[in-house]
Amino acid sequence: MAEAVSGSTSIRRVEPVYVDEAEERRLLSLGGGMIRSETRAVVRLGAYLTVTLALIPVQAIAVLLRLRLAERLPRVYHRICARILGIHIVVQGRRVRERPVLFAANHVSYLDITALGAVVIGCFIAKSEVAGWPFFGVLAKLQRTVFVARRRSAVAAHSDDIASRLEDGDNLILFPEGTSGDGTRVLPFKSAFFSVAERESGDRALTVQPVSIAYTRLNGVPLGRGLRPFFAWYGDMDLAPHLWTVAALGKLTVVIEFHPPLTLEDAGSRKALAMEVRRRVADGVARANAGR
């Protein structure tokens, strides 16, 4: 059923995938050249900033007073942002409702935050550098993100904070690749990130649900490998021009698939858990990219 919503190894660098110029010209000529519009970019980013600046103080007060609104407002905010940016989210599979859950997804772009945040109420686990980013670092903190350093023992070092979130019944959203990819391949999942799964929730093992995210269409036209860099943000890409391009383009379709959940006990070991979760996620990405 589909629902529409308007390790221990070192981190690997992803080689850039360049947009094929002929394919780009063909794409941008569709619809009388209106697929990429600077006017659209100005309007979208203006609306995005207006909504964001209006809701920042509301969320800050909710977090400060530990109101339930603090965990629910981000989903409303991300849904509004998805609509503003022209992101059409198609949800497949069944999301686990019993909390807490560790959602483990592949990472393609900063747009993943908006897409996943629009359908899941939870706290992201992010690299510590994000906390220091201008503007976006503030937004991450307001969503009660757990920040971890990019080293083998980082998640374990933040175990108290993570344990506290789980005890409070918070869902956690993890990108176990440790970096973003090109939207075509799914990088190896680092087993160290799954130390979170060793925690129990009450008298049961923590549920881990694999999640695939794929950017599949622009204005209904399938995105091939050469065009995914319009939306995938990875390697040495600069954020500002990439965001401007995203805002200038038309309607983007994102497919999010929730796969059958499992636990550390089901997998047998942390390494086996990382490999099985990655397999399910990679299969989902391949299916979505192939239009199946």
Q: What is the pLDDT of residue 33?
A: 47
46 domain residue, yes or no: yes
Q: Say what the pTM is.
A: 0.85
Q: What is the pLDDT of residue 83?
A: 97
122 domain residue, yes or no: yes
> What CATH number should be reported for the domain holding residue 100?
3.40.1130
Distances (CA, A) of 28 to 31, 77, 226, 245, 280: 8, 30, 14, 12, 34
4 domain residue, yes or no: no
Question: Three-state SS string across the chain, please?
Answer: CEEECCCCCCCCCCCCCCCCHHHHHHHHHHHHHCCCCHHHHHHHHHHHHHHHHHHHHHHHHHHHCCCCHHHHHHHHHHHHHHHHCCEEEEEEECCCCCCCEEEEECCCCCHHHHHHHCCCCCEEEEEHHHHHCCCHHHHHHHCCCEEECCCCCHHHHCHHHHHHHHHCCCCEEECCCCCCCCCCCCCCCCHHHHHHHHCEECCEECEEEEEEEEEEEECCEECCCCCHHHCCCCCCCCHHHHHHHHHHCCCEEEEEEECCCECHHHHCCHHHHHHHHHHHHHHHHHHHHCCC
Please state the domain count of the chain: 1
129 domain residue, yes or no: yes
The whole domain housing 145 covers 32-289
123 domain residue, yes or no: yes
Q: What is the pLDDT of residue 149?
A: 75
213 domain residue, yes or no: yes
17 domain residue, yes or no: no
Consecutive sets of 10 residues in the chain, 292 residues long: mean pLDDT of each? 43 43 56 70 97 97 95 96 96 94 95 96 89 89 86 61 83 91 88 82 85 92 80 82 90 96 93 96 94 80
